[in-house]
């Protein structure tokens, strides 16, 4: 296994990311979908949009630090012209201009998460909604890693776990409205079986793998 930065990792992973089955992404999409349906009307920003998996359905502006991931996103219908390379710690967005923002499975890759969180708060209108998801610190503590395989090599992406309490302390302009510790369940069993690791499924269901939280801009 080779440790690698997020920037290096997504440069290598971009062209196969959409086709790589992931229990973590599957759990996140399953549990976050009801929250997305309740987003307020208005401009939506997707920070860490990656290959644009949600941008089109939300009519969102997508920002990501990886040009390679955005290159994949730009080939999808309706996304060209709605994407930009940007670092989460310095968003090229005016103050209080968004009704909602999503930062999905991204904040844990950012070393300076406190600055990134303050930036997410800054671009929201008063009362605006922020949806955050990330790799759960309990999974990290249990030895899980954010990995991918390419050309027979397993790469371990940098990850900085954080608790909800740490996020609250970092962004006093955001009020926590809801939190959820999501675990792998029956909908994800098939992913393990197709990977030839059915025994790993039974061990995986005991540990929260995705941390979800909904916040409001004060």
Beta 174-183 vs 208-217: how paired, if at all? Answer: antiparallel
pLDDT in tens, 111-157: 999 999 999 999 999 999 999 999 999 999 999 999 999 999 999 99
Compute the distance between CA of residue 161 and CA of residue 94 in angstroms, rounded to an integer.
28
Token pair recorded at residue 184: 């792998």
User: What is the rounded distance in angstroms from the CA atom of residue 195 to the CA atom of residue 23?
Assistant: 11
Mean pLDDT of the region 194-209: 94
Residue 149 confidence (pLDDT): 93
Grade residue 180 by pLDDT with cuts at 50, 70 and 90: very high
- pLDDT computed for residue 167 by the predictor: 96
**Can you name the residues that pair with 148 across neighbouring β-strands?**
155
Q: Which helix (H) or strand (E) holds 84?
A: strand 83-85
Q: How far apart are CA 122 and CA 98, in angstroms?
A: 9
d(CA 91, CA 28): 24
Q: What is the domain count for the chain?
A: 1
> In the prediction, which pLDDT does 41 show?
87
CA angle at residue 129 from 116 to 71, to 5 degrees? Answer: 55
Cα separation, 186 vs 3, whole angstroms: 31
Question: Does residue 30 sit in helix, strand or coil?
Answer: helix
Q: How confident is the model at residue 39 (pLDDT cuts 50, 70, 90)?
A: very high
- The CATH number for 153's domain is 3.40.50.150
pTM: 0.96
pLDDT digits (tens, 9 = 90+) for 50-84: 999 999 889 999 999 999 999 999 999 999 899 99
pLDDT of the residue at 80: 86
**166 to 4, 176, 210: CA distances (angstroms):** 25, 12, 16
Query: pLDDT class for 181, splitting at 50, 70, 90?
Result: very high
pLDDT of res. 125: 98
How many CB atoms within 10 Å of residue 178?
11
Q: Which domain holds residue 152?
A: 2-217
pLDDT of residue 19: 95
pLDDT on residue 25: 97
């Amino acid at each position: 296994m080779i440790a690698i930065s997020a920037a290096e990792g997504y440069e290598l992973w971009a062209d196969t990311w959409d086709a790589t089955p992931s229990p973590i992404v599957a759990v996140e999409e399953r549990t976050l979908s009801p929250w997305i349906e309740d987003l307020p009307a208005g401009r939506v920003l997707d920070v860490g949009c990656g290959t644009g998996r949600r941008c089109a359905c939300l009519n969102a502006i997508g920002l990501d630090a990886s040009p390679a991931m955005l290159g994949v996103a730009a080939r999808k219908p309706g996304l060209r012209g709605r994407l930009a390379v940007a670092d989460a710690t310095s968003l090229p967005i005016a103050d209080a201009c968004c009704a909602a923002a999503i930062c999905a499975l991204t904040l844990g890759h950012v070393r300076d998460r406190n600055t990134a969180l303050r930036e997410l708060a800054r671009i929201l209108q008063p009362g605006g909604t922020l949806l955050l998801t990330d790799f759960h610190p309990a999974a990290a503590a249990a030895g899980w890693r954010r990995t991918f395989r390419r050309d027979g090599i397993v790469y371990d992406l940098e990850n900085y776990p954080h608790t909800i309490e740490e996020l609250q302390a970092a962004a006093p302009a955001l009020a926590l409205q809801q939190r959820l510790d999501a675990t792998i369940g029956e909908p994800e069993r098939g992913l393990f079986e197709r990977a030839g690791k059915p025994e790993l499924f039974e061990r995986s269901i005991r540990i929260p793998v995705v941390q979800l939280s909904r916040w409001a801009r004060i």
